[in-house]
Amino acid sequence: MKAMMGREDFEAGLRQIGAERYHHLHPFQQRLQNGDLSKTQVQAWALNRYYYQSQIPVKDAYILARLRTPELRREWRQRIIDHDGEEGQRGGIEKWIALTDGVGLDRAYVESGVGILAGTRFAVDAYVHFVQERTLLEAIASSLTELFSPTVIGTRVRGMLEHYDFISKETLAYFDKRPVQAKRDSDFALAYCLDNARRPEEQTAVLDALRFKCQVLWAQLDALHFAYVEPGMIPPDAWRTGEGLRDEGGAA
Amino acid sequence: MKAMMGREDFEAGLRQIGAERYHHLHPFQQRLQNGDLSKTQVQAWALNRYYYQSQIPVKDAYILARLRTPELRREWRQRIIDHDGEEGQRGGIEKWIALTDGVGLDRAYVESGVGILAGTRFAVDAYVHFVQERTLLEAIASSLTELFSPTVIGTRVRGMLEHYDFISKETLAYFDKRPVQAKRDSDFALAYCLDNARRPEEQTAVLDALRFKCQVLWAQLDALHFAYVEPGMIPPDAWRTGEGLRDEGGAA
């Protein structure tokens, strides 16, 4: 029988998963921030990642529906406000559209989801299903990848601004508030998991949920890399260079 | 407004999707049947595809639960019997284990699902979710890839027997009955779809369901190709050469 981990060991176990499996280690992510991608490849990333962004409030609404106190729901609903926006405050999804605008993609095309990779859709939908089908503890634990995002976001934004002339600070406005939001959200989720995993098998389930979520992020970059970088085998029906561009954008 | 297609045009539209999108066109599939894969790569295929096989009766049980007459359920339950077997008759899943046995993989390892690619899991699970969440017509239509499997199976079996010394007729017993079963099943599903798509938008939904299912198959080979062929980037936690082998199997 497994023994219960102490709080510090349990947290260290979670952070170890991030150190080994978070998508900052993925070659596509490294090429993105090192300026090694073409404009077409950055477009493919922005297009596909939009689908992930668009489903985050859906995922969070399913979790919201499962929380049993006004206090917990107030805490969690902030995530939805951050992504969907409010009066006088653009949400994360609208800011992501500023990014797809900035790289020259047509807004209606991006929002339609036509042309995203099946690998993107299957990975993102797996995340939305996970928070419906697993325990609430696992659903919350699957958000813990945000523990690892703040520093990565800084590196990514600096790298992209430095290397790509088609990327501006406004294009990357999505990332401005994410480090603060991600820290607030992951502080809460981490404390929830440390407090509520009260049996060894619950600790294991939390660790596995975080591993699962790292796979959701990693598999999206695998699909992008395979289709658009190496070997560059674009599946039937997926976006091809020059498709879905803004009128003023011209050829990529 | 879209016009209703005639029965023949509708069927031709379905067959056209197969001609352009079925996974017999995938480079991994072509390498498999042309003898261009290493034993390790064939092991990776057998291991990952086992997860797909294992979920087929689950998928079919969800469809069974939605059928509203004993006649329809009797027809559909045969699929589950074929995969799960019966007294004196090995099912498709057990025969797939004969294949993973034959290429030297440990049975308990294969059945555990440990080591399969996240891309495999997400694609297969997307299929199981699809038949729960979409209309019954779409759920049935998603099985129509079997229209295209009989000839492909013949090519694959001949190619594998010819090219791989670690593959025997017994190893490939899974495929013996599949062409006959697949023809019976897809004849039924095709007639059901042709009869029950009574509005243009239902015809479109049927075509889209078949496109979706082609993506489920294609994305599995994308993930295999990316991890084990080109560029050969195996994700964290996925199976690596030499893992999960049978005791008597030795190194791959």
Q: What is the CATH number of the domain that holds A166?
A: 1.20.910.10
Decide if pLDDT at B252 tops 80.
Answer: no
- Whole-angstrom CA distances from A163 to A24, A26, A28, A38, A179 are 18, 19, 15, 11, 22
If you measure CA to CA, which chain B residue comes closest to A18?
Answer: B236
Write down the ipTM of this complex.
0.94
- A219/B122 CB distance under 8 A: yes
DSSP for residue B235: P
Can you tell me the mean pLDDT for A14-18? 98
- B216/A129 CB distance under 8 A: no
Is residue A115 assigned to a domain?
A: yes
Number of domains in chain A: 1
- A123/B122 CB distance under 8 A: yes
If you measure CA to CA, which chain B residue comes closest to A218?
Answer: B235
CA distance A129 to chain B (A): 8
Can you tell me the mean pLDDT for B206-232? 98
Is residue B173 assigned to a domain?
A: yes
- A118/B219 CB distance under 8 A: yes
- Which chain B residues are closer than 8 Å to A233 by Cβ? 27, 222, 225
Which of A118, A219, A235 is closest, CB to CB, to B118? A219
- Whole-angstrom CA distances from B2 to B5, B200, B203, B235, B249 are 9, 6, 10, 44, 58
If you measure CA to CA, which chain A residue comes closest to B236?
Answer: A21
Q: In the Cβ-directed half-sphere of B161, how many Cα atoms lie within 13 Å?
A: 14
The closest of A15, A212, A219 to A117, measured between CA atoms, is A219
pLDDT at A247: 84
- Which chain B residues are closer than 8 Å to A216 by Cβ? 118, 122
Can you tell me the mean pLDDT for A29-43? 97
What domain range includes position A180?
Answer: 7-237
Q: How far apart are CA B119 and CA A239, in angstroms?
A: 19
CA distance B115 to chain A (A): 12
**Residue B214 Rama label (left phi>0; alpha psi -120 to 50; beta):** alpha
If you measure CA to CA, which chain A residue comes closest to B235?
Answer: A218
Decide if pLDDT at A80 tops 70.
Answer: yes
Decide if pLDDT at A248 tops 70.
Answer: no
| Confidence band of B156 (pLDDT split at 50, 70, 90) | very high
* SS3 state of residue B201: helix
* Length of chain A (residues): 252
Is residue B250 assigned to a domain?
A: no
